[in-house]
Every structure is written in C-alpha cells, then in structure tokens.
Amino acid sequence: MKAHDAIRAALTEAAARLGASVAASTIELEQPRDPAHGDLATNLALTLAKSLKQKPRAVADRLVATLTLPQGLVRKIEVAGPGFVNFFLAEAQLATVLAGVLAAGGNYGKGDAGRGTKVNVEFVSANPTGPLHVGHGRGAALGDGIASLLEWTGHAVTREFYVNDAGTQIDKLARSLWARVQQAVGRPADIPEGGYHGEYLIELAAAVLVREGRSFADLPQEEGERRCREIGVRSQRAEQDEDLREFGVKFDVTFFESSVYRDGLLDQTLADLRARGYTYERDGALWLRTTAFGDDKDRVLRKSDGTYTYLLPDIAYHRQKHERGFARAIDVLGADHHGYIGRMRAAMQALGYPADFYHVELVQLVRVVRGGEEVRFSKRSGEFVTLRDLFQETGVDAARYFFLMRRGDAQFVFDVDLAKSQKEENPVYYVQMAHARMSGIFRVAAREPASVRADGVDLAVLVEPEEADLMKEVAAFPGVVARAAETLEPHRVTGYLEGLARRAHGWYHKYRVLGEPEEAARLVLAAAVRHVLANGLNLLGISAPDRM
C-alpha cells in the first residue's frame, strides 16, 4: 500500500529535521496486534532516543510535530506507550489497496530493491553418487524459495547446481559399481572402504549387464572401473535431475567440477592468490593464509605429494562466479559443511572480493517421523529417506511447504502424517483451501476472477472489522516479501500466508458475498485476497488450486 511508503518517507524527513539520518526502508512500520494502537505503528522514536540523547516520548512528540503527510491519508496520529507513534488511516485509504492488487495481479508483491543486481544461488549440489535424500529436498525447497524471493525483489538470479564429478567420491562410486557388477556375475567382490552400499547400485549393475552384455564383467579392472565411472555418474545425474524436475526445481546452470580443471582455472586461481601474497610453502605443501581473514588455521592448497586439495577447485569455482559478474554468491549448504564457510569466505577475501560477496545459508538436518516414530533409513539409498519417497507419499506441494515453513537453521521434524492430512491441521491444505474458497465464489457467480475491476465499485461498503483486517493484511504482503528477501527467510512468507488464510476463512464463514448488497465490493475483496494467496504460494513453488 502506498500509505506505507508515504509514511516512511515522511518519517525520514521528520527525523532529518531532528538531526537524525535514517533510510526509509529501514524504518519499522508494523501493524499492531491491538487495534487501539492504530493501523500502523513505528518504534522510530525509541530507536532514535539513544543517539539523540533525548527521552523516547520527547522524540516521538517532536517527530509528530514536524511530520508532513499527504492530505487524506491519515485521520489520527498518536504518541503512545514508551514512545510509539501510532497512525490511524483514513477510512477510504484502506480500500485503495484493493485496486492496486487487482491492477498488479500476479505481480502484486514484487519490488525493485535489488535493482537488477546479479545474484547466484547455488543449492543442492549433491554428489552424483546416489539418490537425493530428504536433506537435499530441504535444501532444494529453500534454495529455490530464496532464489524466487530475490527475483521478486528485483534481482537477476541464476539458480546453479555444482556437480562434483572429479573427486575421490567418484572413484568410490566407480569401484563400488564395478564390485556390484562382479557380484552380479557370481564373483566375490567387496564394496571398497567408504564406498556406496545402497541397493541402487545393485539395480544399476544388473541394468548395465543387460545393456552391455555379460562380457562387460570380463573387462580389465582398470577399464571396467573407468566405464563404471562414466555410467555411474551419468545415471545418478539423470536420476537426480528427474527427482528435482518432479519436485518442481529448475536450474539455470549446471556447473561441472571437471570443467574447472579443463579450463585451466586452477592455475589462474593459484596465480591470483600468489600475486596477492596470501600463499606460502611449508613442509613441501602450498598453503593459503586464510587466518589473515579470521579462519582458525591456514589451509593447504597443494599437498606435499603434488596433488591439489578439494579446496583449490572450490575456490576456483567461486572465483569464476565472480568473473561471471555476480555481485553475490549465495550457497545453500547442509549444516555438516559449516566448517567450510570460514575458509571459503577467507579465500574470497584473499582474492580481493567484498566481504559480502560470499554468503552461506546453512540448512539443518531433517528428521522424518511417521506414526510417531522416526523413519531413519531407506533400503534403496543405503542411508537416508530419499526425497522421491517423501514427495511421492506426501505430494510435492506439501513437501515443499513443509520444508519452507521453518527457518533453515533450526532442526526440523517432518511429520509425514501431518503432511498427508487433508484437514485444517495441515497448514498447506489450510492455505490452499482458502484460495479454493475464494475461487469457489467466482465459480458459483460464473465470473472470471480476472474480470473483476475495482473502478466504479463503491468499496466504502466494506465496513466490517474482518474486512478492514483483511485489507490491512493484503496491504502488508509486499513488505513481507521484501523482508523475507532481505533476510533470505522464506518461512516469513508461509507464516504470512497462514495468517491471511485464517482471516479469509473467518470472513468467508461469517459473511456472504453473492446476493448481498455488498456483492460488488466483496467480489473485489475476494479477488484481491485470492491474488495474494496465489502469489505467495506460487512464489514458493506451490500450486494454488481453484478447487480441492
């Protein structure tokens, strides 16, 4: 709603007259829980009190005295409590938001705070050594949600998946698969230490023998393992791609570790780090002085045996993101990688990049519970519950919503029974149902929601308290999106949607739309609420069904 912007702008000016400089976007302007505290309230005076060395109430009084707002926006301003400034909007002001929502439609809630900044969001990035598990699913939902939030706030976003197709994990995959091939033709063979024991490699070995013929197993070991490496990576990549596609996640770029070697990026990166003076030799190894940027200890780039550690290709890869023109590189990583953050951030600074170029969002582990008991292992993957098992059982919408409804850095219990429930207890159904109900009104009225216009409709008849509440909530949506994008926290959006859905259900239950004197105005309200529910759900990659 433009009221938010107008009030923020006016507060910025008023603060300037008191000698304080604040950016309009940083001013807290919230809808108080208690309606007696107005439609919008700011704690600006409280936050300025310290720096101005005055009492909060005095600051608030002076702020209000110098505040100049556009005519007709506000009917009353109060200073209350310890120094809050409460704004009571003019009656007609509230309804103006509805016209704005209908005009913007699917774009309502978008902003341009990002001003086209190029941002790279890397997520999932699972090794191509086995099926994706639920932890990857949480990372996928969160990474995709963060990417969408950044798009909605005007950033140019690239969704990226990094494939470790060159490391020792791949060697283990190759040797594990080769062992399964040998076992399949009746020869004794052991899965190598630290190899992959999941049943999927037994299935794959059988498929390979069918396709390539049983003589495949007679290849010399070296060639057999080489072929197994290719086949294994290709097949696991294909399965992961398919899982992600069905989960509704689409990447713009798939980046292969092997290309880092092929394109000579390692040497360039090493040369850069050397030239900037952050490397040194000791004990026959080449070290990076990450302690210069707050890391616990320096890190080895090249081992004394002449081979590189994993760190160098990773640095080269992130250096390459910078070369591609990204202002920010956000990695969504599992919490077990947190030891990695310090050294990578240090490496980025050693390359001379701004401290905020590299950012990591950690995703804590997921526990899956069904029937009150933890589901731990999947026979097929040999370790955790697979993402595919999960979304096939609960549906993609429920799985994505559940992954998004909690902060990423909190451990999370995924209740499969709750996700499958088709009652109000299940938040995703609850929100989708609110959307379906709004749609139902138009279905019965035999009208397209898109055909509803606010002009010519007298919105002043929307006088019920529940209607004022709904309009305020609708007006708050762009701010919620902006804040969620700033903090990279999609759960703010699910929380908002649940609140909006609750108000929508309550209103729907208490008042009728069709056949009432207020029909035209209420159709406008229903269409606006429906838009916001749909926009919020779509932003998170969740469908907004018209009927359920």
417 binds RNA (CB under 7 A): no
CA 397 – CA 99 distance, rounded (Å): 30
* Residue in the structure block whose two tokens are 């939030």: 149
CA 538 – CA 413 distance, rounded (Å): 24
Residue 169 structure tokens: 């994990």
- Which residue, 34 or 218, is less far from RNA as judged by CB? 34
- Which residue, 4 or 505, is less far from RNA as judged by CB? 505
481 binds RNA (CB under 7 A): no
Interface positions, 345-364, toward RNA (CB under 7 A): 362, 364
Q: Out of 1, 513, 521, 525, which residue is the one contacting RNA (CB under 7 A)?
A: 513
Q: Out of 75, 226, 407, 453, which residue is the one contacting RNA (CB under 7 A)?
A: 407
CA 178 – CA 128 distance, rounded (Å): 16
- Which residue, 181 or 497, is less far from RNA as judged by CB? 497
Q: Out of 187, 214, 376, 443, which residue is the one contacting RNA (CB under 7 A)?
A: 443
User: Of the listed pieces 94-102, 258-266, 374-382, 499-507, which binds RNA according to CB under 7 A?
Assistant: 499-507
CA 492 – CA 346 distance, rounded (Å): 31
Interface positions, 273-292, toward RNA (CB under 7 A): 282-285
Interface positions, 24-63, toward RNA (CB under 7 A): 26, 28, 32-34, 36-38, 41, 43, 46-47, 49-50, 56
Interface positions, 80-99, toward RNA (CB under 7 A): 80-84, 86
Q: Identify the CA nearest to 16 among candidates 58, 56, 68, 57.
A: 68
Q: Out of 107, 304, 392, 538, which residue is the one contacting RNA (CB under 7 A)?
A: 304
336 binds RNA (CB under 7 A): yes
Report in angstroms how near the CB of residue 308 gets to RNA at its nearest. 7
User: Of the listed pieces 115-123, 244-252, 315-323, 425-433, which binds RNA according to CB under 7 A?
Assistant: 425-433
CA 149 – CA 142 distance, rounded (Å): 10
428 binds RNA (CB under 7 A): no
- Which residue, 42 or 158, is less far from RNA as judged by CB? 42
Q: Identify the CA nearest to 160 among candidates 268, 81, 255, 46.
A: 255
CA 480 – CA 477 distance, rounded (Å): 5
What are the angstrom distances between the C-alpha of 151 and each of 53, 122, 245, 403? 41, 14, 20, 20
Report in angstroms how near the CB of residue 416 gets to RNA at its nearest. 12
Residue 362 structure tokens: 């950690």
Given a contact cutoff of 8 angstroms between Cβ atoms, the answer to whether 388 and 140 are in contact is no
Report in angstroms how near the CB of residue 101 gets to RNA at its nearest. 19
Report in angstroms how near the CB of residue 209 gets to RNA at its nearest. 29
Angle formed at CA 30 by CA 29 and CA 34, multiple of 5 degrees: 140
Over its C-alpha atoms, the chain yields an Rg (Å, rounded) of 28
Residues in the interface with RNA (CB under 7 A) total 88
Sheet holding 373-375, edge to edge: 373-375, 366-370, 412-415
Report in angstroms how near the CB of residue 524 gets to RNA at its nearest. 13
293 binds RNA (CB under 7 A): no
User: Of the listed pieces 111-119, 142-150, 320-328, 411-419, which binds RNA according to CB under 7 A?
Assistant: 411-419
248 binds RNA (CB under 7 A): no
Burial of 221 (0-12, 13-18, 19+ CB in 10 A): exposed
- Which residue, 43 or 386, is less far from RNA as judged by CB? 43
Half-sphere exposure (Cβ direction) of 166: Cα atoms closer than 13 Å: 16
DSSP for 416-448?
HHHHH--STTSHHHHHHHHHHHHHHHHHHHT--
Q: Out of 187, 337, 356, 538, which residue is the one contacting RNA (CB under 7 A)?
A: 337
Q: Out of 5, 212, 393, 498, which residue is the one contacting RNA (CB under 7 A)?
A: 498
Residue 387 structure tokens: 């993402």
Report in angstroms how near the CB of residue 107 gets to RNA at its nearest. 25
Given a contact cutoff of 8 angstroms between Cβ atoms, the answer to whether 325 and 334 are in contact is no
Report in angstroms how near the CB of residue 470 gets to RNA at its nearest. 12
Given a contact cutoff of 8 angstroms between Cβ atoms, the answer to whether 243 and 131 are in contact is yes
Question: What pairs with residue 77 in β-bridges?
Answer: 87
User: Of the listed pieces 217-225, 449-457, 486-494, 531-539, which binds RNA according to CB under 7 A?
Assistant: 486-494
172 binds RNA (CB under 7 A): no
Report in angstroms how near the CB of residue 309 gets to RNA at its nearest. 4
- Which residue, 203 or 417, is less far from RNA as judged by CB? 417
